[in-house]
Amino acid sequence: MAELLLQVEGLTVNFGDFTAVEDVSFELVEGETLAIVGESGSGKSVTALSIMRLVELSSRGRITAGSIRFRIPGGEMVELAGLAEAELREIRGNHISMIFQEPLTSLNPVYTVGNQVAEAFRRHRGVSRSQARLHALEMFERVRIPNAATRLAEYPHQMSGGMRQRVMIAMALSCDPTILIADEPTTALDVTIQAQILSLMRELQRETGAAVIMITHDMGVVAEVADRVVVMNQAHIVETGSVADVFHRPQEDYTKALLAAVPRLGSMAGSDQPQRFPLVGTDTP
């Protein structure tokens, strides 16, 4: 049986008096892709940021209850919720890494992309500059950046959005993490580029065996990549299940309403006329 990598139990996150995530529990086993899907304000991104305790760094969020247990590779489960910052740094970017929607804001504009990927690796592994540089090149080739050697020397602004996201993936995978958290990684990309990044992520997952937590609002992306799905709404988990169950046998009214609102390419084949969405529940906000 696949080994348990991450166990989140009763996670609650507050921003002042506002509860962004309440009593959220889920598990992640090795090699699987778990999608956390929801609309704006559902708490999906805050959940993702909480796993590495970034929610406390980047914004004034506070984990007020719950536990986040992570298995150190080849070792036992550690509680991330109470872990000291120094120990967290060993885990972030090393065992668990993260990519975001907008790679341009995650990259430093004044360093070449090759430098940044090499530096991240050097920090964690303490290798020499030339070794790190070689590793960056390997990673660029791994994420299928064409002419990898020349592109290492480029600055972020010289690259397209799709290439920048490949750089972020290269950086995220450079320490061979067991978990990759991807927060809306393709939302800002054009649809043909999105398809390329999704297939790349799937292929890399096969090659590395990393487990992926995919945070998205897009049911199409969920259907394409997920093994299991967590549906969130208003800080809570509404439904959890296999991707087939959630799409074909949704149990909760919210999930049913959400699925009814998703336009599905090909669902109107043979129709000469446009058609309204057959919405579930009320048709006005």
Partner 1 sequence: MSSLETPLVEVRGLTKRFPLRDGRKVHAVEEVSLDVRRGETLAVVGESGCGKSTLANLIIRLLDPDAGLICLDGADITHLGPRAMRAHRRKMQIIFQDPFASLDPRRPVGQAVAEPLIVHGLANKSDQQDMVAGLFERVSLTPTHMDQFPHQFSGGQRQRICIARALALKPELVIADEAVSALDVSIQAQVINLMMDLQAELGLSYLFITHDLAVVERIAHRVAVMYLGQIVELGTRRHIFENPSHSYTRRLLDAVPVADPARRRERPLLTDEIPSPIWAPDESPDIVQLTEIEPGHLVAKESP
Count CB neighbours of 252 within 10 A: 15
Nearest residue to 52 via CA among 73, 66, 68? 68
Restricted to residues 65-104, the positions that interact with partner 1 (CB under 8 A) are none
User: Which residues, at least 6 apart from 266, have a Cβ–Cβ distance to it below 8 Å?
Assistant: none
Do 9 and 36 contact (CB within 8 A), yes or no? no
Residue 41: CB minimum distance to partner 1, A: 9
Per CB under 8 A, which of residues 34..63 are in contact with partner 1? Answer: 39-40
Say if CB 26 and CB 217 are below 8 A apart: no
Q: Which of 120, 163, 179, 212 binds partner 1 (CB under 8 A)?
A: 163
DSSP state of 72: P
Contact with partner 1 (CB under 8 A) among 146, 149, 150, 253: 146
Assigned token pair, 92: 């972030």
Kindly tell me which of 47 and 178 has the beta carbon lying closer to partner 1. 47
Choose between 48 and 51: whose C-beta lies nearer to partner 1. Answer: 48
Per-residue x/- marks for partner 1, 192-231, CB under 8 A?
Answer: xxxxx-xxx--x-------------xxxxxxxx-x-----
Structure tokens that stand for 243 in this block? 């991707």
- Phi and psi, residue 273, nearest 5°: -115, 150
162 binds partner 1 (CB under 8 A): yes
Q: Percent helix, strand, coil in the chain (nearest 5)?
A: 40, 25, 35
Binding segment (CB under 8 A) for partner 1, from list 87-95, 129-137, 161-169, 171-179:
161-169
By CB under 8 A, tell whether 277 contacts partner 1: yes
Check binding of 157 to partner 1 (CB under 8 A): no
Residue 115 CB neighbours (<10 A): 18
Site track 231-270 with partner 1 (rule: CB under 8 A), x = hit: ------------xx--xx--------xxxxxxxxxxxxxx
Residue placing its CB nearer to partner 1 in the complex, 53 or 166: 166
Number of residues that bind partner 1 (CB under 8 A): 58
User: Do 24 and 66 touch, CB atoms closer than 8 A?
Assistant: yes
The DSSP H or E segment spanning 14 is strand 4-15
Q: Which residues bind partner 1 (CB under 8 A)?
A: 39-40, 144-146, 160, 162-163, 166, 190-196, 198-200, 203, 217-224, 226, 243-244, 247-248, 257-277, 279, 283-285
